[in-house]
Amino acid sequence: MPQPEKLPESVTTLLKSTRFIHLATSYEDIPHVSLMNYTYYHKNESDYIIISTPKGTTKYDNMVHNPNVSILIHDWISAKTNSEANDSPASNRRNSLYELLANFNKNEIGRVSVTISGRAEILTHDTEKDDYLFYKSLHLNNSKIDQVQAKNYIEDDDNALILVQIHGCKVTDTDNNVVEY
């Protein structure tokens, strides 16, 4: 599948600013979805997502047999911000419903979900060494990933480093308007 001419700025901004993606893999018509930390990377008009996973997982086995993947990423409110997480539990209970209701319409305006299609390449030590070390370093140093967790998932020899080249995307807003790239 050809690379899209260019991802829209709204999609690249979302890829640079969010922490998690939902990765969908499939093998023998059995789908599997996983919540993943990731690193977004753009080079020479191509867009990539770097992930890592233990080799013994369903998603890994699926990508070995079928490298075609789908990724969902969105900017809807789904988790507390860091400042909210540091507030006292009593304060959160008292204010969380109010904040949700007060900000609901404001927060949902212009919100999108992006479905990305891509092809996964499992990088190994046999991959050109400089490329492997470069992608590993990018993913390891990604500030969105907790460093202890990053070391567990990236440094461990039983884990795989995976590069997903983005082939296209669909952007859907809260009014169900869809634009394909």
Stated pTM of the model: 0.76
- Nearest-CA neighbor of 69 among 179, 170, 167? 167
Question: Are 25 and 63 in the same domain?
Answer: yes
Question: Which of 61, 92, 110 is the C-terminal boundary of a domain?
Answer: 110
CB-based burial, 35-74: b 16+ in 10 Å, e otherwise:
ebbbbbbeeeeebbbbbbbeeeeebbebbeeebbbbbebb
Question: Are 21 and 63 in the same domain?
Answer: yes
Residue 83 has pLDDT above 80, yes or no: no
Rounded to a whole number of angstroms, the CA Rg of the chain reads 18
Residue range 54-65: mean pLDDT, rounded: 96
Question: By the 8 A CB rule, do 60 and 66 touch?
Answer: no
> What is the pLDDT confidence band of residue 111, given thresholds at 50, 70 and 90?
confident
Q: Looking at residue 66, which CATH number applies to its domain?
A: 2.30.110.10
> What is the pLDDT confidence band of residue 79, given thresholds at 50, 70 and 90?
very low
Number of domains in the chain: 2
> What is the pLDDT confidence band of residue 63, given thresholds at 50, 70 and 90?
very high
Question: Are 25 and 61 in the same domain?
Answer: yes
- Is position 4 within any domain? no
Question: Are 101 and 16 in the same domain?
Answer: no
Q: Which of the 8 DSSP states describes residue 87?
A: S
- Is position 66 within any domain? yes
Question: Are 150 and 118 in the same domain?
Answer: yes
Question: Are 70 and 91 in the same domain?
Answer: no
- Is position 1 within any domain? no
**Which residue range is the domain that position 97 belongs to?**
83-110
